[in-house]
């Protein structure tokens, strides 16, 4: 059960092309967001689609794959774990963000 403590699986579409950052040691980081959609009927019987956006980070070989093969609109399956962190803006405001650190990625669709 240890592997189930912090595990996220998402299937969604990229909102933009991945942002690729090369670290000083040559290691790569890919940042991108994916949208997941849930469709249901509300109390009036109308079809409603709820879209959620998820921030994804991928390191190393997965970042290289994202750089070479992922583009806006592509459908992907992401498996990873939730990570929270804080940072300061240029205006010295503290911000918090939750991301999915990608451990596995599967490209879906065409």
Looking at residue 105, its pLDDT comes to 96
Cα–Cα–Cα angle for 57, 63, 69, nearest 5°? 115
Identify the H or E element spanning 57. strand 47-59
Q: Is the pTM of this model over 0.75?
A: yes
Token output for 33: 């967001």
d(CA 21, CA 51): 27
- Contact between 97 and 85 under an 8 Å Cβ cutoff? The reply is yes
Give the chain's radius of gyration (CA, Å). Answer: 16
Binning pLDDT at 50, 70 and 90, where does residue 109 land? confident
Report all structural domains of the chain as residue ranges with CATH numbers, in order of start: 2-107 (2.40.50.140)
The string of pLDDT tens digits covering residues 30-77 is: 999 999 999 999 999 999 999 999 999 999 999 999 999 999 999 999
């Amino acid at each position: 059960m240890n592997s189930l403590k912090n595990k996220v699986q998402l299937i969604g579409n990229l909102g933009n092309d991945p942002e690729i950052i090369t670290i000083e040691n040559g290691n790569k980081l890919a940042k991108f967001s994916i949208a997941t959609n849930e469709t249901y009927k509300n109390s009036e019987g109308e079809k409603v689609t709820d879209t959620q956006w998820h921030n994804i980070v991928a390191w190393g070989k997965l970042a290289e794959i994202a750089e070479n093969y992922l583009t806006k609109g592509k459908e992907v399956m992401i498996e990873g774990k939730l990570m929270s962190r804080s940072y300061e803006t240029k205006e010295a405001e503290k911000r918090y963000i939750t991301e999915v650190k990608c451990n596995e990625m599967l490209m879906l669709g065409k």
